[in-house]
């Protein structure tokens, strides 16, 4: 009773005329930004109203909604099994909304099972703040009370940055360790690497000069690595004055990087440098945890949005590494390659996007990066093709088709159809890369003077370093390049299939039929050109019989391996182990889980070999590295998010949470935990939190799930001969396993318990 009274007082419950209750909508988003009214100054959160911030623009940063028809979305409590309608009110003053008056838009009661709508009221006026709230109706037509009021600032669209986004955020951090090493020398450890600024508060008995070192890595205990290069190290001199003073360490301009037109830090933040360790030399005063602070920069990130824990402590540390990597590398507000170039790359963005969506329900940074890449492409052939899955992922996770609508013509160009030969497959070496073609995909000469697309497969392609855990040099498993390459055409097929779905989404039915037919033609040609008739394996190219991990894993991941060949292909893949880069590992693991090879996939995720994520931790990195180890890429860096694939693989594949329809209205939970004794996951979607727990027991495996309000899920559980009986919410189920899995369809919102027992 106390809980109900408390909820009534806080407006969380509403009593209808019939006495029924329904929780109010919550976590309101404007253009998918959860905190559109957030105010900051130089990255730091300010307890300040949006009204005051707008009137003092030079002092504060805040979200600028630039869409003339912003999307409004919200979540509902998991007690609401089904949604049938909503009503949105938008006004120029919160006072209007307090009396349920909307002077800009009243949607009226709108029948819908969704929790998103595009603004359809009077034209919004630039430079104004608007206020909105929403109520919802459940499956029995019981309305909620209106939500709390949310607000946003509307501004004119920006042609160079077409999507609303947050300003960058910052947090002040003290070192976790301060060690006095000798007379005037101190060593400080901030615990994790981060793109940061450095501030000192020092008391000196005299005017003096001291030395400050900042570094990402250690040479030995208490000694920072000064090797330089891509593993960052910097030495700065500082003149300290007598008495107590504050000092800011200025980072110098990286002229080499800036000559390549990188993403620049905004003026309200300033330059950053990645470091974990700091040394102070020749300072005669006292240094403690209050003396040195760093200001770490990142895109706003909800640390409570995701959680994973299992019986495997190594897997848990890998999850923590990869999850933190997504936050730490968001410092530029775009998905960039790390510190070396600070440029978006399609391959980096694809893995970053998937991992960002699974560790935090944040979508604006991906959209900014996607729009940038359409007009600033990089040179690898298959990375151009990755613009299409980037766009499709955005739609699947948000349910918003505006990116698809806006950039549909550009996406059509990015599938590279003019490169197709008579066999229907594409090639970059058959004289089809004309100037007109390259201009159509915005492919201009890059900073090295290169021109045109080049097949990549994996990176680095060649290296003088082989190491003792792989057969070939480079990261392509000895891939033999031909005019027509299997990996590139696997991506081509995948993009055609997705373009068919995009065309259907946009109701371009003639286009959808066209892409469907093209995909069928490519599938047939792929089998004729690349399939080895004797073994069923996929050959690298049209003029070689060599078969690599990459040719087979990409074909398997994208549905190009006929069912009868899957056992042979998976068996071959398992002989190659981790013969790919940290980038390729994303698609290797996807292929394995989709082919039912969960146990082997887990053995790669939690491996402790040199070519493993655990090796990054063992090497001392706290952000995923660009490559498995220096042995395989001597000039690697320690801040590359494309190495963070487990952040999304653990969510999507090991715990099995993936959207089935756009915006997570329906989704799948298909855990494949293999030999883990228990595993628990929290991931936040646009519709709310999904929670999955699996605990093994001799008396029966217990799987618990929580499904967000207004959504449904298909629960797919592996069949085990020793535990053939399924109980669903305490009742014996009559569902029989198909292809090794029980599938419980259309499970409604709320908490559910499934048991697999002997």
The answer to the question of residue 501 being in a domain is yes
Confidence check: pLDDT of 306 > 50:
yes
Domain that holds residue 19: 14-154
> What average pLDDT score do residues 626-646 get?
95
pLDDT, position 6: 42
CB 385 within 8 A of CB 492: yes
Residues 253 and 380 in one domain: no
pLDDT in tens, 75-123: 999 999 999 999 999 999 999 999 999 999 999 999 999 999 999 999 9
600 and 579 belong to one structural domain = yes
Q: Which residue intervals of 140-266 are DSSP H helices?
A: 255-258
Residue 330's pLDDT is 98
Reported as a single tens digit per residue, the pLDDT across 126-137 is: 999 999 999 999
Q: Is residue 6 included in any domain, yes or no?
A: no
Residues 255 and 318 in one domain: no
Q: Which letter does DSSP use for residue 650 in this model?
A: I
**Contacts (Cβ under 8 Å, ≥6 apart) of 699:** 757, 758
Evaluate if residue 15 carries a pLDDT over 90: no
Each residue's pLDDT tens digit, 734-750: 999 999 999 999 999 99
Nearest CA-CA partner of 35 in 269, 362, 356, 367: 362
Residues 286 and 373 in one domain: no
| Model pLDDT for residues 366-424, shown as the tens digit of each residue | 999 999 999 999 999 999 999 999 999 999 999 999 999 999 999 999 999 999 999 99
The answer on 535 and 390 residing in a single domain is: yes
Q: Are residues 290 and 360 in the same domain?
A: no
Distance CA(374)–CA(386), nearest Å, equals: 10
Query: What integer pLDDT is reported at residue 19 of this predicted model?
Result: 54
Which residue among 275, 298, 321 closes a domain? 298
Q: How many domains does the chain have?
A: 4
End position of a domain, from candidates 298, 326, 360: 298
Of 150, 161, 167, give the one whose Cα is nearest residue 57: 167
Statement: residue 307 has pLDDT above 50: yes
**Residue where a domain terminates, one of 271, 298, 325:** 298
Q: Looking at residue 748, which CATH number applies to its domain?
A: 2.60.420.10
* pLDDT digits 0-9 by tens, 458-496: 999 877 777 788 899 999 999 999 999 999 999 999 999
C-alpha dihedral, 343 to 212 to 617 to 168, nearest 10°: -40
What pLDDT is attached to residue 492? 98
CA distance 32 to 44: 21
**Is 569 part of any domain?**
yes
Say yes or no: 676 and 623 in one domain: no
Does pLDDT of 7 surpass 70? no
If asked whether residues 233 and 359 sit together in one domain, one would say: no
pLDDT in tens, 164-177: 999 999 999 999 99
pLDDT of residue 399: 97
User: What CATH number should be reported for the domain holding residue 35?
Assistant: 2.60.40.10
Residue 4 has pLDDT above 70, yes or no: no
Q: What's the pLDDT at 9? A: 38
What was the pLDDT predicted at 450? Answer: 59
Residue 248 has pLDDT above 90, yes or no: yes
CATH number of the domain to which 190 belongs: 2.60.120.260
**Buried/exposed code over 328-337 (b: 16+ C-beta within 10 A; e: otherwise):** bbbbbbbbbb
Is 626 found in the same domain as 521?
Answer: yes
Q: How far is CA 588 from CA 167, 454, 555, in A?
A: 35, 22, 10
- HSE at residue 755, side-chain half, CA atoms within 13 A, is 11
- Mean pLDDT, rounded, for 554-558: 98
The yes-or-no verdict on residue 598 having pLDDT over 70 is: yes
Q: Is residue 185 part of a domain?
A: yes
Token digits for 373? Answer: 């890449």
Render pLDDT for 681-695 as a digit per residue (tens, 0 to 9). 999 999 999 999 999
Asked if 14 and 144 touch (Cβ cutoff 8 Å), the reply is: yes
Q: What's the CATH number where 583 sits?
A: 1.50.10.10
Output the pTM of the full model: 0.95
Do the strands 701-718 and 666-669 form a parallel or antiparallel pair, or are they unpaired? Answer: parallel
Residues 378 and 463 in one domain: yes
Q: How many Å apart are CA 646 and CA 680, to the nearest integer?
A: 15
Q: Do residues 424 and 561 share a domain?
A: yes
Residues 325, 431 share a domain: yes
């Amino acid at each position: 009773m106390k809980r109900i009274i408390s909820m009534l007082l806080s407006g969380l419950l509403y009593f209808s005329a019939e006495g029924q209750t329904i929780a109010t909508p919550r976590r309101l988003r404007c253009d998918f930004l959860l905190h559109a009214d957030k105010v900051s100054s130089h990255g730091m959160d300010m307890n300040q109203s949006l009204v005051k911030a707008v009137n003092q623009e030079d002092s504060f940063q805040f979200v600028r909604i630039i869409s003339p028809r912003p999307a409004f979305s919200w979540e509902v409590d998991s007690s609401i099994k089904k949604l049938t309608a909503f009503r949105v009110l938008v006004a120029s003053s919160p006072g209007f909304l307090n009396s349920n008056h909307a002077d800009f838009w009243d949607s009226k009661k709108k029948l819908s099972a969704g929790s998103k709508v595009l603004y359809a009221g009077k034209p919004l006026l630039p430079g104004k703040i608007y206020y909105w709230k929403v109520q919802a109706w459940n499956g029995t037509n019981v309305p909620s009370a209106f939500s709390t009021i949310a607000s946003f600032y509307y501004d004119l669209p920006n042609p160079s940055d077409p999507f609303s986004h947050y300003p960058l955020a910052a947090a002040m951090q003290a070192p976790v360790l301060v060690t006095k090493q000798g007379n005037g020398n101190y060593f400080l450890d901030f615990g994790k690497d981060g793109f940061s600024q450095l501030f000192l508060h020092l008391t000196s008995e005299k005017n003096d000069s001291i030395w400050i070192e900042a570094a990402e890595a250690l040479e030995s205990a208490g000694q920072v690595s000064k090797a330089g290069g891509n593993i960052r190290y910097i030495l700065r001199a500082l003149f300290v004055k007598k008495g107590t003073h504050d000092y800011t360490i200025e980072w110098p301009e990286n002229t080499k990087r800036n000559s390549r037109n990188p993403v620049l830090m905004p003026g309200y933040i300033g330059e950053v440098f990645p470091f974990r360790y700091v040394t102070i030399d020749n300072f005669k005063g006292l240094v403690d945890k209050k003396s040195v602070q760093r200001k770490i920069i990142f895109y706003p990130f909800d640390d409570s949005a995701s959680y994973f824990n299992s019986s495997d402590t190594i897997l848990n540390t890998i999850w923590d590494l990869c999850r933190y990597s997504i936050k730490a590398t968001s410092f530029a507000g775009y998905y960039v390659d790390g510190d070396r170039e600070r440029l978006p790359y399609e391959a980096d963005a694809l893995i970053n996007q998937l991992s960002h969506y699974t560790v935090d329900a944040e979508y604006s940074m991906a959209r900014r990066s996607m729009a940038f890449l359409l007009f600033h492409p990089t040179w690898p052939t298959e990375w151009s093709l990755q613009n299409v899955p980037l766009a499709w992922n955005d739609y699947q996770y948000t349910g918003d088709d505006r990116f698809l609508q806006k950039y549909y013509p550009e996406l059509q160009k990015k599938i590279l159809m003019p490169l197709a030969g008579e066999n229907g497959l594409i090639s970059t070496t058959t004289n089809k890369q004309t100037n007109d073609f390259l201009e159509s995909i915005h492919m201009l000469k890059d900073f090295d003077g290169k021109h045109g697309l080049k097949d990549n497969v994996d990176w680095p392609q060649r290296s003088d370093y082989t190491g003792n855990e792989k057969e070939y040099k480079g990261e392509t498993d000895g891939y033999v390049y031909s005019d027509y390459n299997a990996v590139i055409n696997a991506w081509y097929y995948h993009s055609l299939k997705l373009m068919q779905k995009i065309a259907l989404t946009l109701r371009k039915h003639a286009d959808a039929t066209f892409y469907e037919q093209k995909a069928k033609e490519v599938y047939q040609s792929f089998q004729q050109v690349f399939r080895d008739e004797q073994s069923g394996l996929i050959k690298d190219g049209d003029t070689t019989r060599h078969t690599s991990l990459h040719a087979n894993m990409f074909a398997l991941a994208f549905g190009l391996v006929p069912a009868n060949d899957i056992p042979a292909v998976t068996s071959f893949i398992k002989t190659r182990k981790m013969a790919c880069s940290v980038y390729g590992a994303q698609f290797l693991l996807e292929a394995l889980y989709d082919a039912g090879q969960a146990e082997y996939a887990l053995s790669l995720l939690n491996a402790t070999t040199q070519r493993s994520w655990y090796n990054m931790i063992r090497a001392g990195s706290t952000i995923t590295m660009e490559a498995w180890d220096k042995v395989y890429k001597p000039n690697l860096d320690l801040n590359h998010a494309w190495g963070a694939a487990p952040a999304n693989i653990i969510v999507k594949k090991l715990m099995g949470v993936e959207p089935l329809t756009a915006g997570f209205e329906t989704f799948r939970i298909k855990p494949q935990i293999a030999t883990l004794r228990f595993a628990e996951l929290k991931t936040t979607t646009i519709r709310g939190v999904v929670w999955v727990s699996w605990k093994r027991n001799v008396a029966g495996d217990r799987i618990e799930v929580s499904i967000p309000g207004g959504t449904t899920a298909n629960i797919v559980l592996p069949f085990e001969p020793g535990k053939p009986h399924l109980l669903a919410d305490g009742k014996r189920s009559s569902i029989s396993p198909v292809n090794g899995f029980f599938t419980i369809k259309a499970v409604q919102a709320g908490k559910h318990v499934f048991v697999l027992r002997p």
